[in-house]
Chain A
Amino acid sequence: MEPFAEQKGVVAALDRVNVDTDQIIPKQFLKRIERTGFGQFLFFDWKFLADGSLNPDFELNREEFEGATILLAGANFGCGSSREHAPWSLLDYGFRVIIAPSFADIFFNNCFKNGMLPIRLPQAEVDRLFERVEGTRGYQLSIDLERQTITDGHGLILRFEVESFRRDALLRGLDDIGLTLQQEDKIEAFEARRRAAH
C-alpha cells in the first residue's frame, strides 16, 4: 500500500446525510472481478441522467470540483453494504480523504485498508467547511496526518482524531496480512489450544 503523505487539494462538497454504498457504487458495477477502474462508476446513478448525459444538478459535476482529492460529506457516510468497491471507486476517482461528521463502521475500516483517510469532525466544524467551500471557488485544504491537522492557508486550523495504530499504518503503508503472518506462531498455538480443549 502506498504510504499516506501530506495531502493538499481541492475540496468537493456533497451536502447529504446517509450517503450509502449503493449510491457510491451501484450494484451493476460490482460484477467486475478487478480491483481497479471503478472511478468511472462513482455515484453513477446521481452523476448521469437516465439517457447517459451528465446530471447538471449533481454536486460532484460542478466544474470547480474537478480534480478534487478531498470529499466533504454529511453524517453516516458509507452506510449500507460492506462492498469495498465503494472506497475503491472513490480512490480511483481521485479522493484520498473524506471528511464527515460520522461514518458507517465497515466503510470507515475499508478506507484505511486502501490507504485512504476518513476524518470525523464535529458537525459544527463540517458545517463551517461547507460554508467555506461554497464561499471560495476552488477551496483547498491541506491534511497533515502526522500532526493531525487540517489547514486552509487562510487561518483555519482544525485538529482531528485518529487512532494511532491506524495513523501509523497509513503513514508507513503497512501490509496488514504480512504483519499478521509474523504472528503465525501465536495463531498456531491458539489452534493447538483449541484442539486440546474440544
Chain B
Amino acid sequence: MEKTLFEKIWDNHVVFEEPGKPALLYIDCHLVHEVTSPQAFEGLRLSGRKVRRPELTLATVDHNVPTTDRSLPIVDPTSRLQVETLAQNCAEFEIPFYDLQSPQQGIVHVIGPELGVTQPGMTIVCGDSHTSTHGAFGSLAFGIGTSEVEHVLATQCLQQVSPATFRIEVDGSLSHGVTAKDLILYIIRTIGTDGATGSVVEYTGPTVRALSMEERMTVCNMSIEAGARAGMISPDEVTYSYVEGRPSAPKGQQFQEAVERWRKLPTDADAVFDRELRLEVSELPPQVSWGTSPGMVTDVDGNVPTLDSFADENARRAAERALEYMGLEPGTAMQEVQLDLVFIGSCTNSRIEDLRNAAKVVRGRSVASGVEALVVPGSQQIKKQAEAEGLDEIFRRAGFEWREAGCSMCLAMNPDTLSPGQRSASTSNRNFEGRQGRGGRTHLVSPEMAAAAAIKGRFVDIREWDY
C-alpha cells in the first residue's frame, strides 16, 4: 500500500497496538529543558522509577537563561533554582546535559539539528510545543506535556492516538525578500490557528522543495500555531547534506546506509491524505501580524483590518479585543505602525541563515533613534559562527545589542521583556497578549522585515529595500 511519510514513521515505531486504544509508540529522541521537566523527574523519584534510556535523552537550559554576561550568576532566584534543578536531575539520572557554560548550549530546537541528533525517520518529543521544528528533517516530532515527559523518561514510549494527515502543497517562487516565515504566517492566516488541529501536516510542492534546511525548520516550527500535532517535510538531498558530518550523525559507511534507509521515507506518489490544500505564493507579499493570535496576519502593504470585515461574530469580537490590546486603529496602514523594539531570535528565526539575511539588510545602516534592537542567536555555536563571519560587528555598529543564546524575548521568562505598551517587531512565533511582557505588543515578522523595521522605526516593505 502507498504510504505517507508520517505513516511510514508511525508504523516503524509502533511497539504495541490494540483496537480502540492509543498505540504505544517508541521514542527515538527525547529533548528536555528546565521549565517542563522538574515535575516529571520528581514524579519518577516519588514512584521509584528510573530513566529507561538516558542516552536517548538530551537536556539543555534555554527558556530562563540570561542572555547577558554568562559569568554572572542568574539573578532571579526562581529561574536559578529551575536551572540548577535540571542540572541535578541530569546528574542523578545520567542524562547528557548542555549547561549554561557549554559551547553547545542553546534553544533546544536549535541545538538538536545542529548537533545532528535530529535525523530523518525518527520520533522526537519534548515538553515544548515547538518540537514540530524537527519535522523539517522528515521526522515525526511533537510537543508533549509534563506527564508525558515523565512517561517517556520512564518507558521511552508514549501512548498516542493516530492523528489525521493533511498535505499542504505550495507552488510558486517567493519574491525577493519574501521568506519561509512569510510563507508559514500566510498558511496560518489562511487555515486559522485551529486549521490543522488533530492533524500532522506535510508540506510539499516546489516552493517547499526549494527551501534550505533552516527555512524548512522555520515552516515546521510554526505548524503548532495552526494547531497541528506536527509538521513535516519529506527528506531529500538538502536534508542529507545538512545532517552529514554533524557530531551525532552516523559516520562513513554507516552514514551511507542511513541515507539508503532515509530514501525510503518520502511519501509515495499515490499515498492518500485525509485532507489537502494547494497554495500559490509567487505573488505573496511579506506578512505582518496585527493582532494577538498568529492567524491575525496581513500583507505589509495592507492595513489593520476594520471590524466590519469580519463576517463571523466570534472573530469580530476577538479582533476588537485584539485591536484594543494592540493599541491599533482599524484601517491604519501597516507601514505607518511605529515600533519601540526589534527582536531577532527564537527557535523560529535565530539560525545562522536568519542572522546572515538580517545582517545584509542592516549592513552600513543605523537603528532608528528611539528604537531598541537586539539579536539573540539560537545557540552558542551559531553565535560563534556569526562572530567568525563578522555579523556581530554589522549588528553592533548599527546599534543592535548582540547577546548570548537562549529563548530570550520570545517568551520573556528571563530579564528580556517588553514594558507595558511597548511595541515590537519580533521574529518569534507567538503574538499572544503579554507573551513578550505584560502589556507588550508583538508583531510577528521575518528576520529581514525585522531588521528593516529596526532601521526605519516602522514596518517597511522589504521587497523595496536595497540589499
Quick one: closest A residue to B318, CB to CB? A17
B197 touches A104 (CB 8 A): yes
B: contact size bracket: 35 or more
A45 within 8 A of B: yes
A16 touches B321 (CB 8 A): yes
B49 touches A177 (CB 8 A): yes
B21 touches A177 (CB 8 A): no
Quick one: closest A residue to B430, CB to CB? A80
Q: How far is the CB of B242 from chain A (nearest CB, A)?
A: 21
B144 within 8 A of A: yes
A165 cross-chain contacts in B, Cβ below 8 A: 20-22
Quick one: closest A residue to B131, CB to CB? A82
B314 touches A74 (CB 8 A): yes
**A interface footprint on B46-68 (CB within 8 Å = 1, 0 otherwise):** 01010010000000000110000
B147 touches A180 (CB 8 A): no
B144 touches A180 (CB 8 A): no
B413 cross-chain contacts in A, Cβ below 8 A: 27-28, 30-31
**A interface footprint on B193-236 (CB within 8 Å = 1, 0 otherwise):** 11001100000000000000000000000000001010000000
B20 cross-chain contacts in A, Cβ below 8 A: 164-165
B155 touches A181 (CB 8 A): yes
Selected interface stretch from A109-117, A140-148, A151-159: A109-117
Q: How far is the CB of A112 from chain B (nearest CB, A)?
A: 9
Report the Cα distance A27→B197, complex, angstroms.
Answer: 24
Report the Cα distance A180→B154, complex, angstroms.
Answer: 9
B420 cross-chain contacts in A, Cβ below 8 A: 50
Binding site for B on A (CB under 8 A): 16-18, 20, 22-23, 26-28, 30-35, 45, 50, 74-76, 79-84, 87, 102, 104-106, 109-110, 113-114, 163-165, 176-177, 180-181, 183-184, 186-187, 190-191, 194
B151 touches A177 (CB 8 A): yes
B129 touches A76 (CB 8 A): no
Please pick, from B49, B82, B155, B193, the residue contacting A31 in the complex, using a CB distance under 8 A. Answer: B82
B335 cross-chain contacts in A, Cβ below 8 A: none
A31 touches B24 (CB 8 A): no
- Starting from the known contacts A17-B318, A177-B151, 12 additional A-B residue pairs (CB-CB under 8 Å) come to A16-B321, A20-B432, A31-B78, A32-B78, A74-B314, A79-B193, A84-B127, A102-B197, A105-B229, A164-B20, A180-B159, A187-B52
Known A-B contacts A17-B318, A50-B438, A176-B159; A82 and B432 likewise in contact (beta carbons under 8 Å): no
Quick one: closest B residue to A22, CB to CB? B432
A191 cross-chain contacts in B, Cβ below 8 A: 26
A30 cross-chain contacts in B, Cβ below 8 A: 35, 63, 413
Query: Nearest 5 CB-CB pairs, A to B?
Result: A113-B147, A33-B38, A110-B145, A84-B145, A31-B78
A23 touches B432 (CB 8 A): yes
A180 touches B157 (CB 8 A): yes
A76 cross-chain contacts in B, Cβ below 8 A: 193-194, 197, 227
B85 touches A33 (CB 8 A): yes
Q: How far is the CB of B272 from chain A (nearest CB, A)?
A: 22
Report the Cα distance A145→B144, complex, angstroms.
Answer: 25
B314 touches A75 (CB 8 A): yes
Quick one: closest A residue to B37, CB to CB? A33
B151 touches A82 (CB 8 A): no
Quick one: closest B residue to A165, CB to CB? B21
A16 touches B143 (CB 8 A): no
Known A-B contacts A33-B42, A176-B151, A180-B24; A18 and B193 likewise in contact (beta carbons under 8 Å): yes
Quick one: closest B residue to A36, CB to CB? B39
Known A-B contacts A32-B78, A165-B21; A22 and B430 likewise in contact (beta carbons under 8 Å): yes
Report the Cα distance A181→B85, complex, angstroms.
Answer: 26
B157 touches A23 (CB 8 A): no
Please pick, from A17, A83, A114, A187, the residue contacting B155 in the complex, using a CB distance under 8 A. Answer: A187
Within 8 A of A (CB), among B72-115: 76, 78-79, 81-82, 85
Q: How far is the CB of A114 from chain B (nearest CB, A)?
A: 7
Report the Cα distance A79→B439, complex, angstroms.
Answer: 20
Known A-B contacts A79-B227, A180-B157; A190 and B15 likewise in contact (beta carbons under 8 Å): yes
B353 within 8 A of A: no
B39 touches A35 (CB 8 A): yes
Quick one: closest A residue to B85, CB to CB? A33
Within 8 A of A (CB), among B314-345: 314-315, 317-318, 321
Within 8 A of A (CB), among B410-429: 411-413, 420
Report the Cα distance A191→B229, complex, angstroms.
Answer: 26
